[in-house]
Amino acid sequence: MNDMEEIPKKVPRLGLRHLQAGLLFYGLAANTVLQLNVSVAVVAMTNETTSNNSDPPHYNWSEEKKSYILSSYYWGCALAQFPAGYLCKRFGSKAVLFWGTLGSSLLSALTTYGVYAAGWKAYCAICLLQGLCQVTWPCIHQHLANWCPTAERTRLGAFAYTGFDCGNVLAMYGAGMIASSSLGWPGISYSAAGLGLIWCGLWLLLGANKASDARFIGEAEKAYIVGDIQRSERKEPKKMEIPWKGIFTSVPVYALLCARCADSWGLTTMQTELPTYLSGVLKLDMKSNAVFSALPFLLMWVMCYVYLIIADVLLRKKWMSLTTLRKTYTSIALWAPASIMLTLVFVGEGQKTLVLVLVTLSVGVSSAATIGSELNTIDLSPNHAGILAGLMSSFTNLMALLTPLVVGVLVTDPSQRSQWQVVFSLAAGVLFAGNVIFLIWGTAVTQAWNESKESRRELEPEEKPFHRAKLEIGTDNTDGNVVGLKLNCTSP
């Protein structure tokens, strides 16, 4: 597919659709920081050497209590995702994403006071409530489906999703640096809150559910986006029923679910446990921990754009079908980290440089999932992308909340390398199995249940050319020696 050839000449190459993708990028980055800074904060709150400021207290929490804190966010998030997909369809992505981010930001601002008042239990409660406010993924899927023309879907969608990688870098590096500064660990939650509140103001001013609702869009760009989406959907009724039966009996949906859950398990292992692993096994101080915890996600962010450029060329040159592209990238995102994690099992803790390189690569290459599986919900059903994203997120967050709990059981002493070997082996097995299923049953073909019942109905007789046509063969009436053909057609 040649993106540039698909865009009419009068349509601006850089327009409001790109601004919407940029806002989604920032919003996803802010929400990722609100989500992930807890993994660094927990290390800082339980290590008295992490701050130059003696005022913030430090706590002697067990590994079990830490696992409860790290998983609490995902309990709330798992409960919120499926309703979030419905709310997105009902009220639009702008309102749902705004209120969710606002709530999470305000809760982040209250984190310090809650921990001072009630310790780790209050931290768990705040994280759980923040998880309930996490509606980002369903809203982003629906917003992209409403704003991205087919020719630019991969490019704009992948750019928006790289906000997640940017947020990972900010959460790991920024939180570590703040914890090491005079602000101490309380500064982590305040900074995250400020980042989210600034985004809320920009989103309220510039965001719009659809191109037809936007205040600052040009007519040419509006006609291009609306026309393309209407052609893609063929016919969109005012109120489209959600095809629950079609969704829950769709093999490609279950294949995608397996791939997303596997990716979630592997990535969450690194997101939530990497600072603890680097501190416990490699004995890194807080500043070094921040750098080397952020480095894998920085590579992940950079690789997103590398993967995007390659994917753009492959599609433009028609060297790969969209289904082949999705499966190839998903294989890179799941099997490459699985192989690296298995290698980590056999690398000794004395080989610190090699361990850091392998950890960085295992996370960095996994960003292929953005193009491989994350955008697949829009492929399967543009009309119900938000619902599918909510369904996927519910299950992937179940994986994300189970990961810290499982690690909390397997790792009782963070300094014991043998315990981490089990963690990495388990993650590798999950990643391998998830991709096998996606390779067999996954697809990028839009499913029949994406359309309304009216759109799927068989054409009426008057819509079928020559439906009542009848071909008659007989002899000419004059001498009987000539064969005659007669076409009787009442609906030409």
List pLDDT tens digits, range 170-186. 888 888 888 888 888 88
User: What element of type H or E holds 220?
Assistant: helix 219-233
Burial string for 446-471 (b: 16+ CB within 10 Å, else e) reads: bbebbbbeeeeeeeeeeeeeeeeeee
CATH code, 179: 1.20.1250.20
pLDDT value at residue 49? 52
State the DSSP string of 99-165: HHHHHHHHHHHTHHHHHHHHHHHHHHHHHHHHHHT--HHHHHHHHHHHH--GGGHHHHHHHHHHHHH
User: Quick one: pLDDT band at residue 43, thresholds 50, 70, 90?
Assistant: confident
Over residues 273-292, the pLDDT tens digits come to 887 788 778 887 777 877 88
Q: What is d(CA 492, CA 54) in angstroms, rounded to the nearest whole number? A: 88
Q: Which pairs with CB-CB distance under 8 Å and at least 24 residues apart come from 462-465?
A: 462/491, 464/491, 465/491, 465/492
Average pLDDT of the residues in 48-66? 71
Between CA 413 and CA 312 the distance in angstroms is 46
Q: Are residues 47 and 179 in the same domain?
A: yes
Total tally of structural domains belonging to the chain: 2
- What integer is the mean pLDDT of 78-93? 80
Indicate if the pLDDT at residue 226 is higher than 60. yes
> What is the pLDDT, as a whole number, of residue 326?
94
Residue type (1 letter), 366: S
- Which domain covers residue 120, as residue numbers? 12-232
Q: Which of 130, 143, 24 is nearest to 78 (CA)?
A: 130
The residue that leads in pLDDT, 310 or 463, is 310
Alpha-helical segments (H) within 11-110: 16-45, 63-91, 93-109
pLDDT digits (tens, 9 = 90+) for 393-447: 778 878 888 888 898 889 888 888 888 889 999 999 999 999 999 999 999 898 8
Predicted TM-score (pTM) of the model is 0.68
Q: Chain-wide mean pLDDT for the chain?
A: 81
Assign 109 a pLDDT band (cuts: 50, 70, 90). Answer: very high
Q: Does residue 83 surpass a pLDDT of 50?
A: yes
pLDDT value for 197: 95
Please state, for a pLDDT cut of 90, what percent of the chain lies above it.
25
Average pLDDT over residues 56-83: 83
DSSP string covering 118-133, please? HHHHHHHHHHHHHHHT
- Asked, for residue 2, whether it belongs to a domain, the answer is no
Q: Does a structural domain hold residue 243?
A: no
Alpha-carbon distance of 372 to 367, in angstroms, equals 9
Among 135, 126, 120, CA closest to 203? 135
Same-domain check for residues 288 and 433: yes
Report if residue 133 sits inside a domain. yes
Q: What is the structure's pLDDT at 103?
A: 94
Q: Give 388 or 480, the one with higher predicted confidence.
A: 388
Q: What is the pLDDT of residue 2?
A: 42
Return the top range by mean pLDDT from 66-75, 254-263, 478-487.
254-263
The answer on 261 and 188 residing in a single domain is: no
Query: Binning pLDDT at 50, 70 and 90, where does residue 45 land?
Result: confident
pLDDT for 478 beyond 60: no
Contacts of 124 (CB under 8 A, 6+ apart): 68, 69, 72
Residue 234's pLDDT band (cuts 50, 70, 90): low
Is residue 463 a part of any domain in this protein?
no
| SS3 label, residue 458 | coil
Q: Which whole-number Å values give the CA distances from 361 to 339, 347, 374, 490, in the listed order?
A: 11, 15, 20, 68
Among 184-188, 208-212, 248-252, the range scoring the smallest mean pLDDT is: 208-212
Residue 453 lies in a domain: no
Q: Is the pLDDT of residue 187 over 60?
A: yes
pLDDT of 249 above 60: yes
The verdict on residue 486 lying in a domain is no
Highest mean pLDDT among 131-145, 331-345, 397-411: 331-345
Predicted local distance difference test score (pLDDT) of residue 469: 45
394 within some domain:
yes
Of 232, 267, 298, the residue at which a domain comes to its end is: 232
Q: Both 53 and 194 in a single domain?
A: yes
In a domain, 112, yes or no: yes
**430 and 394 in a common domain:** yes
Identify the burial level of 380 via C-beta atoms within 10 angstroms of its C-beta, where 0-12 means exposed, 13-18 middle and 19 or more buried. buried
Across 65-74, 226-235, 342-351, least confident range:
226-235
**Residue 241, burial from CB neighbour count under 10 angstroms (0-12, 13-18, 19+):** exposed
